[in-house]
Amino acid sequence: MPLVLEIEHLLGVAFAAQEPDSGSPDWPPQPDRVFSALVAAWAARGERTDEREALEWLEQQAPPDIAASPAAARPAPSSFVPPNDKLQVSANPAWRTRQPRRFPAALPLDPVVRMVWREAEGAPVEALDHIARDVAYVGHSASLTRCRFVEDDWPAHGRAARRRVYKGRLSELEAAYQAKRRPSPGEAIRPPPSIVEPSLNAFSSDWLTFEIVGERTLDLRAAPLACKALIKAVMCGYGAGDGAPAPEWVSGHRPDGTPSPAPHLAAAPLAFAGYPHADGRLLGFALVPPQGRGDLLADADFANALTQRLQKVGDERLFRLWCKELPNLDLQLRLTLETERASLNPARYMRPSRRWATVTPLVLDRHVAPPRAELKGYGDRYRHETEDLIRRACANVGLPEPSRVMAAKHSAATGAPPAYPSGNAPRWTAWRTPEAFKSRRLSHAILQFDAPQAGPVMIGAGRFCGLGLCLPLDREQKE
């Protein structure tokens, strides 16, 4: 039976830095940080022998899986605080020096983190649970927690740990405490080069989500224009600050105006889709950073640009979204760090899966003439050409080639509109796309891979404005 450690952040905030001088929060908490908190609680409880043996057992286990929701990084400006008094320095406050300190924090969507040891036969659960229940905080003393150890058949697979504890770590922490020095961090986990599989996905999983406020909403088929307007609004926030233009990773263009070859900021629509009885209503948006950028709010310039676009509406500061291509578009968006709406939770787009389905149709990279009834056999050739373009679209974002691709007019995600209207439907029922994609053909698709692929999966030429967004298909769903 797997051993599970539940850590609930009671204030909904996790104060911890990746490094002593870092402004980036350490999320999710790593095993070495949690182990240090358990050792501190064990010492405060009187250093019982049976509990020490339990900690020595724990330090010899393989690194656990970490099941944690995405989190937004709260900006951490420098605070100047006085250092500890020294004998040669006066205690007069006017003469004391000030040293810069930063207190980075993570705001998770779900305050509960679970660490899962899959192989835990003979675990001293009772002793470990007694220690865990006395852990008042993990990381900074402001990160109040409730912890407990349980044996539970936890089904989900979380993230791999970045750092680990090792045999002798308990004695090492004791020696550091006796010497009154800061202990060294845990051991970084570096797989052997022969088995390292670099992450080539063009997009990061650290999404920044916005919820539509009020009764006004938008049809999902107009979302590509709204997504493009959302990115433009953020870019304007840079100009409203100190006048500096948006960086290349935000604008997608080099300083000379030419397109950037590197991945850049994208936007994605978040709709009520993929559930039974879903109707495809648009509930919000997400800003999707390129791989390697991490939490958007941890970037001080980006956070400042976003703040420039907020307007005071009642007791809230909301983001106003409008664009000239949609005269009736005038939405108020709320930055959402916690929500009860599952459709606004980015985690549903990250779950590893072998099969994925498009919620918004993808834009094919080149024109493919539609099949004609008088040309015998052209329908099969059209289908093969379309599926080949979809395979190339997967390769363009770093995904492996799918073992099976099925292109279709309709989506396998319940509630998503079709890729194109029927012949007798009015023109306004078609998808509203940016001018660059007006002549391109749209297609829904189902992708099947030989091995589970973690999200996000955003493919096709329109992936930066919300087209080609995919959801993992549940195992129970029929082929």
CA distance 6 to 9: 10
CA distance 343 to 416: 13
CA distance 40 to 34: 10
Paired tokens of 320: 């106003």
Q: How many residues does the chain have?
A: 479
Per-residue model confidence as pLDDT tens for the chain (479 residues):
889 999 999 998 888 887 665 566 788 899 999 999 999 999 999 999 999 999 999 999 999 989 888 777 665 555 556 665 554 455 555 555 656 666 678 888 789 999 999 888 889 999 999 999 999 999 888 889 999 999 987 765 667 888 889 999 999 999 988 888 888 777 777 644 433 333 456 888 889 999 998 877 888 999 999 999 999 988 888 875 555 788 889 988 888 888 887 888 999 999 999 888 888 889 999 999 998 887 788 887 888 888 877 777 766 778 888 877 877 778 888 888 767 788 888 889 988 888 999 999 999 887 766 655 444 444 567 778 888 889 888 888 888 888 899 998 999 998 999 998 887 777 778 888 888 888 888 999 999 998 888 889 999 988 999 999 999 986 534 33
For the whole model, what pTM was predicted?
0.58
Kindly report the CATH number that applies to the domain delimited by 3-195: 3.30.70
DSSP letters of 400-439? Answer: PPPSEEEEESS-SSTTPPPSS--TTS-GGGS----GGGTT
CA distance 279 to 272: 6
In the three-class reduction of DSSP (H, G, I as helix; E, B as strand; rest coil), residue 209 is classed as strand
pLDDT of residue 192: 47
Contacts of 470 (CB under 8 A, 6+ apart): 349, 356, 357, 358, 359, 447, 455, 456, 457, 458, 459
Determine phi and psi for 430, rounding to 5 degrees: -80, 165
Paired tokens of 94: 């006017």
pLDDT of residue 83: 60
| Sign of the Cα pseudo-torsion (81, 86, 88, 92, in order) | positive
Write out pLDDT tens, residues 292-303: 887 788 887 888
C-beta pairs of 140-143 under 8 Å, 24+ apart in sequence: 140/15, 140/16, 140/103, 142/11, 142/13, 142/15, 142/103, 143/9, 143/11, 143/13, 143/14, 143/15, 143/16
Write out pLDDT tens, residues 243-264: 578 888 998 888 888 888 788 8
CA distance 58 to 165: 9
pLDDT of residue 310: 78
pLDDT of residue 355: 92
pLDDT of residue 466: 92
Domain regions of the chain by residue span: 3-195, 208-472
pLDDT of residue 362: 93
| Sign of the Cα pseudo-torsion (321, 326, 330, 336, in order) | negative
Residue given tokens 């009860």 in the structure block? 340
